[in-house]
Structure 1
C-alpha cells in the first residue's frame, strides 16, 4: 500500500540519492574513476563521530545508520541511509570533523570517493554545488522535524513513525507484489524512537494485537499501514 495521501514521508527522508543522478558525463566519469567499492558486514563502522573526514560514502546496496552517542553510551539514531544515498559529505563541505557515526544495519556494498577528488569535481562543477545546497536545505528540515518529534511526541507515536519510515526503506528493495519485511533489531528500533527496548517490545505487542503488524523473530511484517499512520498522529 502506498503512503500517498496518508503520510508525509518526504518530511522523514533525505534526498541525497539525487545528488549524483544525471551529472554531466565528464563530472560523473571523474568521480567514478576515483571511486572504490567495499563490502561491509552488518555492524561495521564507516566513520566515527569526531574523526577527520577522508571522503564521502555512497550506499550501493544495503542500509547504514547514522547516530550520535550520549555520555551514557546510548545511541540515538538520527537517520537510516538506504541504497542510492550519499553520506559523509556534510563534514567535508563544512571543513569539520564527522558530527556523527555511521555503521551498517545489514550486509552492504559501499562506494568511497576520496575527499580531494570529490572537492576537485565540486570546484569545477556548475551542477553539483546547487544540488548539494538543495539537499542540505531539505536535510535540515528533516532533522529539525525529527528532533521536534523526539522531544514532544509520546513513545507510541515515535515508534509508529519509525516503523513507517523503515517500511519505506525496505519497500524500496522489495519486488512488486512481494511482502515488505522490516528486518531490524529491537535495540536499533528503540534507538530510532528514542526509547528503551522494553517499551518497543510492549508497543509492538499492542500493535500486533490490533492487527497492525506481525513479528517473527526480529522481522516485522506491517499488515495495516493505514492504522499505523493513525497511531503516528502524523497522517495527512
Structure 2
C-alpha cells in the first residue's frame, strides 16, 4: 500500500497541509478501494464513518428530486475528497456518488480525520474552505436552473465539463456521459438534450462521435451560456 506522503494526489486537496507524521498515521489506518463503473461510493441518506480521497477516476454526485428523477449536481475527479461535510456535521450523506469509470479510492476513518482537525489548524481551515466552495457551487447551480433557459445551461455545462476534465488525445472532452446523464445535469428531458446537442452539431459549435463530444466554437458557447 502506497504511503500518503508519497502520493501526488495530496497536493490537490486539504492533505497538503499535513505533516509527515500526520500523513504516516493516516497511511497506517487508510483502506484502499477499487470502485467499478456504475457502483456507488456513497448513497444519499446513509451514514458514513470516514472520508474518501479520490486517487484515480471520475464520478457523479446526484440527488433524487421530488419526482424520483436523478439530478446530477456535480462531477468529481482524482484529487478531490468526499464525505468530510457529512462527518463534520454528523448527518447522513446528502448526495449519491456513482463511479463513471473504475475508480481508485482511499478511505480514511473518521477518528483519524477528527484527531487531525483538532491538531492541525491549517487542515481544519482547508476543509472549511472546501465546504464553503461546495455551498457556493450549489447556490450557483440552483440559480442557473431557476434562471437560465435549457440551451444556455447546456452550453455552460459543456464548457464546465471541458474545464474540469480536460481533453483526450483526440481533442474530445475527456469524460463519457450518456445523453440521459447530460439531460440530468441540465435539468431537462433526454429528448430535449438530444435535440439541443444535434442543433449545436448542425451549427458547427460542437462535433459528436458516439458519446464523445468535441467543442469547436467555444466563443459561441460562452455567448450562449451568458444569454447572448
Q: Does residue 90 of structure 2 align to residue 85 of structure 1?
A: no
Task: Quote the residue 1:188 is aligned against.
Answer: 181
Distance in 2 (alpha carbons) for counterparts of 1:20 and 1:84: 10
Q: Does residue 18 of structure 2 align to residue 23 of structure 1?
A: yes
> Structure 1 regions of 5+ residues with no counterpart?
1-15
* Greater mean alpha carbon deviation, residues 226-235 or residues 86-95: 226-235
Task: Quote the residue 1:218 is aligned against.
Answer: 211
Deviation at 1:204, TM superposition (A): 0.4
Distance in 2 (alpha carbons) for counterparts of 1:203 and 1:87: 32
Task: Quote the residue 1:179 is aligned against.
Answer: 171
Task: Quote the residue 2:57 is aligned against.
Answer: 62
> Structure 2 regions of 5+ residues with no counterpart?
1-10
Deviation at 1:180, TM superposition (A): 3.2
Structure (1 or 2) with the greater helix fraction: 2
Deviation at 1:234, TM superposition (A): 7.2
Q: Is the 8 A contact 2:32 2:105 kept in 1?
A: yes
Q: Is the 8 A contact 2:84 2:127 kept in 1?
A: no
Task: Quote the residue 1:163 is aligned against.
Answer: 158
Task: Quote the residue 2:27 is aligned against.
Answer: 32
Q: Is the 8 A contact 1:17 1:86 kept in 2?
A: no
Aligned residues: 217
* Greater mean alpha carbon deviation, residues 206-215 or residues 133-142: 133-142
Q: How does 1:121-160 map to 2 (within 5 A)?
A: 121-160=116-155
Output the TM-score relative to the length of structure 1: 0.86
Distance in 1 (alpha carbons) for counterparts of 2:139 and 2:62: 15
Deviation at 1:103, TM superposition (A): 0.8
Distance in 2 (alpha carbons) for counterparts of 1:21 and 1:174: 28
Output the TM-score relative to the length of structure 2: 0.88
Deviation at 1:174, TM superposition (A): 4.3
**SS where residue 133 of structure 2 aligns?**
helix
Distance in 1 (alpha carbons) for counterparts of 2:215 and 2:123: 38
